[in-house]
Amino acid sequence: MTQPLRVRIRLFAMQRELAGTRSLDVTVPPGSTIEDAWRALVEVHPVLAPGRPAVRFAHNGAYASPETALAHGDEVAMIPPVSGGGDRLGDAPGPRRIVELREEPFGPSILTELAERLATPDDGAVVGFLGVTRRSPGTPAPGQEAEAARHAGRVVESLTYEAHAAMALDVMAEIADEIEARFGVSRIAIVHREGDVPLGEPSVAIAACAPHRDAAFAAARYAIDETKARAPIWKAEQFSDGHVWIGEPAREGPEEAG
């Protein structure tokens, strides 16, 4: 008799809160797909069902389609709407890339730190970007509209970031690869916070170094836009009496070059 498949499910952000767990195992018949694993999850936690249109999936640490076939022992991460470390340095003159998740706070001086780690004498441009916590609320993630309405007119006090760390670092490294291919910029840094980030403090830092400014500006813009759209990093806006998850359904790959 063919044995059923055991699949580990990982939950993040609003899904984790609704289900009350970060992970659980489900069993599905042989030949099942990721979509079947979702259905098995919803049987255990029906409260998750309304979120399906905004959910994306990761199979063993990489984005995958709902039709992806499963094997015994696979891991499936349910990726709710995303917000919007590992230090990987090459030896000169090859690529120098920094992709990190940091729990400890950093300030504006991180841009100087990253520039010193990345720039070479051939670079005539260093472009830096800081994303900081603002007091005005963002767009609530699908399913969070009622909670956002409850906090309408209130001031955001801080942000909390949660990440699928290993996958986030891989996605950020893919973005660095794309930047080199599209813009010829091989010296790029993407550093993102985890945990609580108070009002006015940075949550993400980007640095791009290149011989010419046009390429450096384009690389930095691409880095922040793609990180917010694709990296499995979730953001909750904290208010005095609750929080709201912010974001849009994750994009599973790069936008087509225009």
Q: What is the pLDDT of residues 12-58, one digit of tens each?
A: 999 999 999 999 999 999 999 999 999 999 999 999 999 999 999 99
Calculate the average pLDDT of the chain: 92
Q: Looking at the DSSP assignment, which residues form a beta bridge with residue 89?
A: 96
**Predicted local distance difference test score (pLDDT) of residue 85:** 37
**For 224-235, what is the mean pLDDT?**
96
pLDDT of residue 1: 60
Nearest by Cα to 77 from 165, 5, 141, 169: 165
User: How far is CA 199 from its chain centroid?
Assistant: 20
Question: If we measure between CA atoms, which residue out of 255, 250, 251, 220 comes closest to residue 235?
Answer: 250
Answer whether residue 67 shows pLDDT above 50.
yes
Question: What sign results for the dihedral spanned by CA atoms 41, 45, 51, 55?
Answer: negative
Taking residues 213-230, what's their average pLDDT?
A: 97
In this prediction, residue 257 has a pLDDT band, given cuts at 50, 70 and 90, of: low
Give tens-digit pLDDT for 111-131.
999 999 999 999 999 999 999
Residue 43 contacts by C-beta under 8 Å, 6 or more apart in sequence? Answer: none
Would you say 233 and 102 are in contact if contact means Cβ atoms under 8 Å apart? no
SS3 content of the chain, % helix, strand, coil (to 5): 30, 35, 35
How large is the average pLDDT for residues 150-154?
91
Position 198 scores a pLDDT of: 95
